[in-house]
Amino acid sequence: MLRNLKFALNSAWQSFWRNLAVSLAAVVSITLILILAGVNLLVGHALSQVLDGFRVKVSSISINVADDTPLQSVYDMQQQLKSDPRVVSVKFVTKDEALAQFKADPNNIVFAQQIDGNPLDAKLEVRVAKLSDVAEIDTLARRWPGVDPTDPTNYQGDFVNRMLQLSAWLGIAGVGLMAVLVVVSIVIVMNTIRTAVYHRRKEIEVMKLVGATEWFVRGPFVLEGIMTGLIAASIALALLVVAYPPAVDRFRADIAFIPLSYDPAFVVSLARDLLVGGALLGALGSYIGVRRYVRI
Amino acid sequence: MLLTPDFDTRPVISFQHVFKTYPTGTEALRDVNLVVPEGDFVFLVGPSGAGKSTLVRLLIREEKPTKGKIFVDGMELSRMKRRQLPYYRRKVGLVFQDFKLLPNLTIYENVAFALRVLGEPDRLVRSRVADALETVSLSGKENTYPSNLSGGEQQRVAIARALVHAPRFIIADEPTGNLDPATAWEIMQLFLRINARGATVVMATHNREIVDLLRRRVVAIDAGQVARDDRSGRYHDDVEKPQVRAQ
């Protein structure tokens, strides 16, 4: 077994260099595919970061408390919300704190000077775990007698629904694009490797005639495919890592309202995905590509 | 009718009413019956397209018969599963007209290839390859590539590869077809030596001189049928086919 593996590794390595032109063609095609996949992952990650930011914002809801509501009733409501599994946290903000917060915001300086007394409501700031549950918490809040009937909550149903829809569509689009990339790449890699195998069909014929098992013939090709995939993944990764920060800077400069950010931690998971993806792609492409010639 | 001489030794190859029709409709073999005992040396002769190569392809299970049975060493080839095939082929040494050497491997690597496939350890590979190359008088050419050898030398490498794993049968398809008479004769001497060591040899050939000189068993195939099976035969049956002799 170990001897066969050594032989397969040796053959794969030799064959990679002996058929350098075809090997390079395979490396280039896998590299291009992996760059596309990597860009897809990076864009997907950046968008999900942006969406996460929005999600945190809109998954918080402020319940405005009417001025005449007894404090005990507010505490009861706060307790009820805290014990709700859909709720992450509840914070009671008194009228004074609300005013202080309002005045602290530099956008409100002019307003704050004109305010006479304290027109702001006390509020319960509720963070909900899932964006889809915010609507139900809003309904619950509106039924509470202590709520300010003129301005019960800051919940913007339409915006949240649109956010949910957008995030669902982006998820589907990302998966769809990835699926298309995977299928296209397997077909390209398979054909590239089939060309490489075609050049070596005589070798395969001899292997079969001297009694090589299908896996003995296939092994070196699959290993060569994995090697090709890993080389391609390394090149694609290097290019993406170099291009990622300046691309983010450029994007931020051009489209300032989308808070895109550079995430160095994501590079690690990108590296893992690309290397595993490249190796799998090479292996699968070789396995399918060599199949026609290996069958005895 | 069974045109098979009676031999005392155990039959290792047996064709029983074998028919082969290709998908194109070409009838390559028709009701072929043939028994080859262990240690025999059989020449398959006949005009081009007579069915010799089909018979060889059936023997190495590159093709299956349309009808009939082929037994080799007790195994029925058409019932053999695909995964068993490599193990069957390891019992056989194959030699072809076009040598089928791998151009990017050295002579040593080409011969060693048949053992690598078996997963033999390096030490054994080294000693067996050295023996095989010595048998075919190619010691010292281990690091040469096939393109730097003459046709005869290349065929000797192919023979070394065919015998390096000590197979029980050698099947050769026109092994002297690309060689000059002197080299062909050298190659035949090699086959005779391998046969003398106990291996059964089945050889398809067009080489009249060699067949006539050696006077071994001759099975003549004509139009897909066994036309003649002589224990100590010649290339042409002089009595039946004087017109062929006249050519």
Give the chain B residue whose CA is nearest to the CA of A17. B104
Of the candidates B89, B92, B119, the beta carbon closest to that of A4 is on B119
Q: Please tell me the pTM assigned to this model.
A: 0.66
- pLDDT tier at B109 (50, 70, 90 boundaries)? very high
**Proportion of chain A above pLDDT 70, given as a percent:** 96
Q: Between B9 and B135, whose confidence is greater?
A: B135
Distance CA(A151)–CA(A98), nearest Å, equals: 15
Name residue, tokens 């009413």. Answer: B17
- Same-domain check for residues A47 and A76: no
Q: Given this model, what pLDDT does residue B240 score?
A: 47
- pLDDT tier at B36 (50, 70, 90 boundaries)? very high
By mean pLDDT, which of A47-56, A213-222, B89-98 is the weakest? A47-56
- pLDDT tier at A230 (50, 70, 90 boundaries)? very high
Q: Per the structure block, which two tokens stand in for B176?
A: 């002297």
Q: Which amino acid is at A280?
A: L
Q: Which domain holds residue A167?
A: 2-54+163-294
- pLDDT tier at B2 (50, 70, 90 boundaries)? very low
* Number of domain units in chain A: 2
**Proportion of chain B above pLDDT 90, given as a percent:** 51
Cα-trace Rg, chain B: 18
Residue A154 lies in a domain: no
Q: Given this model, what pLDDT does residue B243 score?
A: 45
- Same-domain check for residues A99 and A9: no
Instruction: Give the contacts of A96 (CB within 8 A, at least 6 positions apart).
Output: A118
Give the chain B residue whose CA is nearest to the CA of A1. B119
Q: Between B74 and A294, whose confidence is greater?
A: B74
Output the average pLDDT for chain B: 87
Average pLDDT over residues B20-30: 92
- pLDDT tier at A177 (50, 70, 90 boundaries)? confident
A211 CB within 8 Å of a chain B CB: yes
- A210 interaction partners in chain B (CB closer than 8 Å): 89-90, 94, 113-114, 117, 161
**Proportion of chain A above pLDDT 90, given as a percent:** 5
Residue A149 lies in a domain: no
- B100 interaction partners in chain A (CB closer than 8 Å): 202, 205-206, 209
Q: Given this model, what pLDDT does residue A131 score?
A: 76
Instruction: Please indicate whether, in this complex, the C-beta atoms of A213 and B60 are within 8 angstroms of each other.
Output: no
A209 CB within 8 Å of a chain B CB: yes
- Same-domain check for residues A68 and A178: no
Residue A169 lies in a domain: yes
Domain stops at, among A81, A105, A129 = A129
- Same-domain check for residues A33 and A91: no
Instruction: Give the contacts of B87 (CB within 8 A, at least 6 positions apart).
Output: A211
- Same-domain check for residues A258 and A181: yes
pLDDT at B73 over 80: yes
- Same-domain check for residues A181 and A47: yes
Q: Given this model, what pLDDT does residue A8 score?
A: 77
Q: Per the structure block, which two tokens stand in for A170?
A: 């982006």
Instruction: Please indicate whether, in this complex, the C-beta atoms of B118 and A3 are within 8 angstroms of each other.
Output: no
pLDDT at B6 over 50: no
Residue A152 lies in a domain: no
- Same-domain check for residues A77 and A176: no
- Same-domain check for residues A169 and A284: yes
- pLDDT tier at A259 (50, 70, 90 boundaries)? low
- Same-domain check for residues A184 and A108: no
Residue A27 lies in a domain: yes
- pLDDT tier at A178 (50, 70, 90 boundaries)? confident
Using one digit for the tens of pLDDT, what is the confidence trace for A54-82? 777 778 888 988 888 888 888 988 888 88
Q: How far is B90 from chain A (nearest CA, A)?
A: 5
Average pLDDT over residues A107-123: 80
Domain stops at, among A109, A129, A149 = A129
- Same-domain check for residues A43 and A65: no
Instruction: Please indicate whether, in this complex, the C-beta atoms of A206 and B83 are within 8 angstroms of each other.
Output: no
- Same-domain check for residues A122 and A70: yes
- A6 interaction partners in chain B (CB closer than 8 Å): none
Instruction: Please indicate whether, in this complex, the C-beta atoms of A211 and B89 are within 8 angstroms of each other.
Output: yes
Using one digit for the tens of pLDDT, what is the confidence trace for B175-214? 988 888 888 898 899 899 989 989 999 999 988 889 999 9
Probe site for chain B from A7, A20, A209, A214 (most B CB atoms < 10 A): A209
- B116 interaction partners in chain A (CB closer than 8 Å): 7
How many A×B Cβ pairs under 8 Å? Answer: 52
Give the chain A residue whose CA is nearest to the CA of B111. A210
Residue A158 lies in a domain: no
Residue A147 lies in a domain: no
Q: Given this model, what pLDDT does residue B72 score?
A: 92
Half-sphere exposure of B127 (CA within 13 A, CB side): 4
A18 CB within 8 Å of a chain B CB: yes
Give the chain A residue whose CA is nearest to the CA of B162. A210
Residue A139 lies in a domain: no
Of the candidates A206, A208, A211, the beta carbon closest to that of B102 is on A206
CA B36 to chain CA centroid, Å, is: 13
- Same-domain check for residues A283 and A244: yes
Average pLDDT over residues A233-250: 88
Of the candidates B83, B89, B119, the beta carbon closest to that of A209 is on B89
Burial class (CB in 10 A: 0-12, 13-18, 19+), A168: exposed
Q: Per the structure block, which two tokens stand in for A48?
A: 């999900």
DSSP symbol at B221:
E
Q: Which amino acid is at A28?
A: V
Domain stops at, among A85, A111, A129 = A129
Probe site for chain B from A9, A208, A210 (most B CB atoms < 10 A): A210
Q: Are strands B27-37 and B11-21 parallel, antiparallel or unpaired?
A: antiparallel
DSSP symbol at A155:
-
Strand partners, B32: B18
The beta strands (E) that lie in chain B are given as: 11-21, 27-37, 41-45, 67-72, 75-76, 92-96, 169-173, 200-204, 217-222, 225-230
Count CB atoms within 10 A of the CB of residue B144.
Answer: 15
pLDDT at A258 over 80: no
